[in-house]
């Protein structure tokens, strides 16, 4: 089979499409014929050795896929060869076939094609876990989303609206903000041309955001925390800016703000029932038309290298889907 392979940490350009043997499913695993795989920011980090997860070499990037079960490992129940599924797998998705644990495997929802399925699990799973479980976002509250035009940002906008919040989307260009408005953002802030805190204060009557969702980090994290309300919740989701910020902790003290780390992958590893429950709710929202991945590009394996470089440089809007078989 063909796969985009990483043999050592280094420049993204080192990734190559190669012919490799098909993997064999172990206990509690299935082998999937990959119909579509989605690109996420961690894919750019993991191949450079910058991610907390360090896979064994050689490996293929690609953490979420949709496809058809080709073979079952020992002890697998509840799934059959030929089932249409989506899966969160960490790595291995940019290939014609991949392995998936049954712990993070779900049937593809009715009305969901493979491309939408591939773009669904990680971004929506992360954002629902962050907003509902970590921040306990309530109807009527104000949610500020940084990096709002990326995959998790757009998912956070949609989920915030589904939970009844008012959503302020912040991004770096007017084009990105237009995309945010198209999925339901109530207000927008261009944080390259506007003062984020002052703009959020103006939009909230100087109260600030009840919940701030930050997948960006870098210089925007402190501004986002300052824009968070009294006893507001600041969610640390990721560091797409490439810099882990050093935040003055007096900002938490002054307004009794809560700073909450979000690690969805570890949360569902510790509690499988959370994955099942959250995916069920997300599938219900999808069926009702309340959420839907915004797929902006469809690429083959060779084109994925350039896309990984672009997502590393924050030049991607919405979701990019890789089609391993073209």
- Chunked into runs of 10 residues, the chain (326 residues) has average pLDDT values of 97 97 97 97 93 92 97 96 96 98 92 96 96 98 97 97 98 96 98 96 98 94 97 95 89 97 92 91 95 96 96 92 91
Confidence (pLDDT) at 272: 85
Confidence (pLDDT) at 9: 96
Are both 244 and 151 inside the same structural domain? yes
Are both 193 and 316 inside the same structural domain? no
Burial status of residue 74 (CB atoms within 10 A of its CB: 0-12, 13-18, 19 or more): exposed
Are both 63 and 170 inside the same structural domain? no
Nearest to 297 by CA among 310, 286, 278: 310
In the chain, the number of structural domains is 2
Are both 15 and 149 inside the same structural domain? no
Bond preceding residue 58 cis, omega within 30 of 0: yes
Non-local CB neighbours of 251 within 8 Å, separated by 6+ positions: 222, 225, 226, 257
Are both 105 and 207 inside the same structural domain? no
Confidence (pLDDT) at 309: 96
Are both 110 and 132 inside the same structural domain? no
Task: State the CATH number of the domain containing residue 250.
Answer: 3.40.50.720
Confidence (pLDDT) at 314: 86
In this structure, the strands spanning 29-38 and 97-101 are antiparallel
Nearest to 47 by CA among 89, 7, 88: 7
Non-local CB neighbours of 234 within 8 Å, separated by 6+ positions: 211, 212, 214, 224, 225, 228, 257, 258, 259, 260
Confidence (pLDDT) at 136: 98
Look up the pTM and report it: 0.93
Confidence (pLDDT) at 204: 98
Residue 260: inside a domain: yes
Q: Residue 127 half-sphere exposure, CB side, CA atoms within 13 Å?
A: 31
Are both 131 and 212 inside the same structural domain? yes
Residue 278: inside a domain: no
Confidence (pLDDT) at 325: 86
Residue 51: inside a domain: yes
Are both 128 and 215 inside the same structural domain? yes
Last-in-domain residue among 265, 284, 313: 265
Are both 9 and 113 inside the same structural domain? yes
Are both 129 and 228 inside the same structural domain? yes
Are both 140 and 105 inside the same structural domain? no
Residue 276: inside a domain: no
Q: Rounded distance, CA 197 to CA 83, Å?
A: 49
Residue 200: inside a domain: yes
Residue 194: inside a domain: yes
Are both 147 and 115 inside the same structural domain? no
Could you list the residue range(s) of the whole structural domain that residue 51 is in?
Answer: 2-120+294-322
Burial status of residue 230 (CB atoms within 10 A of its CB: 0-12, 13-18, 19 or more): exposed
Residue 16: inside a domain: yes
Task: State the CATH number of the domain containing residue 14.
Answer: 3.90.180.10
Nearest to 212 by CA among 147, 127, 146: 146
């Amino acid at each position: 089979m063909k796969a985009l392979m990483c043999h050592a940490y280094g420049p993204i350009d080192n990734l190559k499409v190669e012919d490799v043997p098909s993997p064999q499913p172990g206990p509690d695993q299935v082998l999937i014929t990959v119909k579509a795989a989605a690109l996420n920011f961690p894919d750019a980090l993991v191949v450079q050795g910058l991610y907390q997860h360090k896979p064994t070499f050689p490996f293929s990037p690609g953490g979420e896929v949709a496809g058809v079960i080709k073979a079952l490992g020992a002890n697998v129940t509840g799934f059959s060869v030929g089932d249409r599924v989506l899966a969160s797998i960490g790595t291995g998705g940019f290939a014609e076939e991949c392995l998936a644990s049954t712990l993070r495997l779900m049937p593809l929802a009715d009305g969901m094609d493979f491309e939408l399925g591939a773009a669904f699990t990680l971004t929506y799973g992360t954002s629902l876990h962050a907003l509902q479980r970590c921040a306990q976002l309530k109807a009527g509250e104000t949610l500020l989303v940084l990096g709002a035009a990326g995959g998790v940002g757009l998912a956070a906008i949609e989920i915030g609206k589904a939970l009844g919040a008012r959503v302020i989307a912040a991004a770096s260009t007017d084009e990105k903000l237009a995309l945010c408005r198209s999925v339901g953002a109530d207000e927008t802030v261009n944080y390259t041309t506007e003062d984020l805190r002052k703009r959020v204060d103006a939009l909230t009557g100087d109260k600030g955001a009840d919940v701030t969702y930050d997948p960006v980090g870098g210089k925007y994290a402190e501004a986002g925390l300052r824009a968070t309300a009294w006893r507001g919740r600041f969610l640390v989701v990721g560091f797409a800016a490439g810099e882990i910020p050093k935040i003055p902790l007096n900002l938490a003290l002054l307004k009794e703000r809560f700073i909450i780390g979000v690690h969805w992958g570890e949360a569902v590893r510790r509690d499988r029932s959370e994955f099942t429950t959250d995916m069920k709710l997300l599938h219900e929202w999808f069926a009702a038309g309340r959420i839907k991945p915004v797929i902006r590009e469809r690429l083959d394996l060779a084109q994925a290298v350039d896309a990984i470089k672009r997502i590393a440089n924050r030049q991607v809007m919405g979701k990019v889907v890789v089609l391993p078989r073209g």
